[in-house]
Amino acid sequence: MNDRSELRGVLMNRPITTLFMLMSVDGKISTGSSEEMDVDRDFPGIAGVKEGLHQYYEIEQTTDLWSFNTGRVQAKMGVNEKEMPPKSPVSFVLLDNHHLTEHGVRYFCALSKQAVVITSNRSHPAFDVDEDNLYIICQEQPSLGEALERLKNECGCDRLTVQSGGTVNSLFLREKLLDYVDIVVAPVLIGGRDTPTLIDGSSLNTPAELNKLGVLKLMECCVLQDSYIRLRYKVIS
């Protein structure tokens, strides 16, 4: 293990993290600003985009066996109402305070090898769920870095694929918690100032904050079918 990013993850006592996302050419990870707009729902109906979409989902099947998501995104995808799924080999980590219902938590317990809920809400519905594969990381003060340390030390997570929204992605970036970035780019321009992007959150305001930038080194650029591309980077600072 001589890769600088992986060594950094080991020294920081947290999982090696990879941000894996599907985005448009202009960096959008949704098709619009409202809750009704969603790439998973909308891209399959867009000519010129739907033809190559399967490649993203095929690559997704090869990512880490630990997956980080947010309750907000998963609630938007309907997990609070979906029927219970078959078991998968993937362990899911959900950062959530109030978006998941008890049904949504049970959905992930059914789906996951191990389900972990990270929350600062002591009344979260997860506390009402009694499942052997459910683990709750409850924090008095939200700290993504501390949660990742506990995820490694208490749950045995060594490598983690991050698939959250732009705001939480920005926390990973600003807190220097990303090691790799793996992006599939769809051949479409979406636009819109309020449409979520790969990295949202607060903007940098002063030159002194430039050390919060994520500087990347390109590892691989793959031209996929139907005008899709895949970009893989190592975070070097």
pLDDT digits 0-9 by tens, 191-221:
999 999 999 999 989 999 998 899 999 999 9
What are the structural domain ranges in the chain?
Answer: 4-26+41-235
Residue 1: predicted pLDDT: 40
Residue 35: predicted pLDDT: 87
Contacts of 75 (CB under 8 A, 6+ apart): 99, 100, 104
Here the tokens at position 64 are 């880490």
The residue that leads in pLDDT, 11 or 52, is 52
The residue that leads in pLDDT, 114 or 209, is 114
Q: Is the dihedral of CA 136, 142, 145, 149 positive or negative?
A: negative
* Predicted confidence (pLDDT) at residue 2 exceeds the cutoff of 50: no
Q: Domain 4-26+41-235: which topology?
A: Dihydrofolate Reductase, subunit A (3.40.430)
